């Protein structure tokens, strides 16, 4: 059980967005995703169209939409004649607003009909079931969002059930072999709050899928993150990065001296980071898991 004095970062959306933005600036996360989208995703999407003139896509936890639009552009290149119904599921009003602004500024999206759902994935699931929706999806993506659900396995099972024949569910999370994986395994009881599954990695997801006999493809996305500022006491950006790494609001101020020292020592551990030229570079490797329709 996480210390009662530690609040999850998700409870302060403004601070979360600031720390997330800084994380993106300090890491190669979006670049490694773009490499995957450009080089691997087209082959994954090649089998979903099956001669269709209309495709249904669901983005779960879409954030500000940059990665979504890049994936949609690859889909459009594969199926230039197809229209797309794109369900966007994003609980942050600010992020959803940013996504809408981006769509307004991006030419050539006439083939996409956007449906905006300002809600969590569990609210979306409840809504879907209450409306007795029968629509099936050709492509569903869940990028860096399974940390914020109560039951990742149940969430995956629900969205997998929405896949049409030849449909694909794409999940991106931190790799179990990354620095995050080591941090979460070591300090799960101190940092992770029980209302969400903050400490989940692809290692957990693969174990869940294997236990149910679900086949999957997986791809490691090498990524790194400059966390040097975390080791400068009182550095505002360092504190924001520590918040994001631990997913704890005001970690530097709220954590016990013992916990803070332990986390900082672990972040410097060779299993988590390499040090060169005075910088501490954290292993931020991601992993992609691709699942087909449940058969």
Q: Which amino acids are annotated as binding site for substrate, given as ranges? A: 29, 284
**Does an H or E element contain 289, and which?**
strand 286-292
Instruction: Measure Cα distances from 189 to 175, 185, 192, 199, 247 in Å.
Output: 19, 9, 6, 10, 13
In whole angstroms, give the CA distance from residue 23 to residue 225.
Answer: 8
Nearest to 217 by CA among 40, 35, 11: 40
Residue ranges for the known binding site for S-adenosyl-L-methionine are 61, 90, 95, 121, 143
In 176-272, DSSP assigns E strands to 216-221, 224-226
Cβ pair 260, 252 in contact under 8 A = yes
Cβ pair 183, 282 in contact under 8 A = no
**Does an H or E element contain 35, and which?**
helix 29-39
Q: How many residues does the chain have?
A: 295
Cβ pair 102, 65 in contact under 8 A = yes
In whole angstroms, give the CA distance from residue 120 to residue 102.
Answer: 21
As given in the structure block, the two tokens for residue 117 are 């759902």
Residue ranges for the known binding site are 29, 61, 90, 95, 121, 143, 284
Nearest to 144 by CA among 293, 286, 292, 291: 286
Instruction: Measure Cα distances from 61 to 65, 111, 119, 156, 171 in Å.
Output: 9, 22, 9, 13, 11
- The sign of the dihedral angle between the CA atoms of 244, 23, 157, 122 is positive
């Amino acid at each position: 059980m996480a210390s009662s004095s530690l609040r999850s970062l998700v409870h302060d959306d403004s601070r979360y967005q600031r720390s997330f933005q800084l994380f993106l600036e300090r890491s190669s996360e979006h670049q490694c995703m773009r490499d995957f989208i450009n080089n691997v995703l087209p082959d994954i999407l090649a089998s979903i169209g099956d001669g269709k003139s209309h495709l249904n896509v669901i983005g779960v936890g879409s954030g500000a939409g940059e990665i979504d639009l890049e994936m949609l552009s690859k889909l459009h290149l594969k199926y230039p004649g197809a229209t797309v119904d794109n369900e966007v599921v994003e609980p942050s009003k600010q992020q959803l607003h940013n996504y809408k602004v981006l769509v307004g500024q991006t030419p050539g999206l006439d083939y996409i009909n956007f449906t905006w759902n300002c809600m969590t994935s569990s609210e979306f699931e409840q809504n879907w079931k209450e409306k007795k929706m029968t629509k099936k999806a050709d492509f569903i993506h869940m990028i860096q969002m399974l940390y914020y659900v109560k039951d990742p396995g149940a969430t995956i099972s629900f969205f997998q059930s929405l896949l049409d024949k030849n449909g694909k569910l794409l999940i991106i999370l931190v790799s179990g072999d990354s620095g995050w994986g080591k941090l979460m395994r070591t300090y799960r009881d101190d940092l992770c709050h029980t209302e969400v599954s903050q400490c989940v990695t692809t290692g957990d997801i693969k174990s869940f899928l294997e236990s149910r006999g679900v086949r999957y493809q997986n791809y490691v996305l090498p990524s790194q993150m400059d966390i040097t500022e975390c080791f400068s006491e009182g550095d505002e950006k360092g504190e924001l990065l520590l918040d994001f790494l631990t997913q704890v609001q005001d970690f530097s101020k709220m954590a016990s001296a013992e916990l803070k020292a332990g986390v900082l020592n672990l972040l410097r551990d060779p299993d988590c980071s390499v040090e060169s030229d005075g910088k501490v570079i954290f292993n931020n490797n991601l992993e992609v898991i691709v699942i087909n329709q449940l058969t």
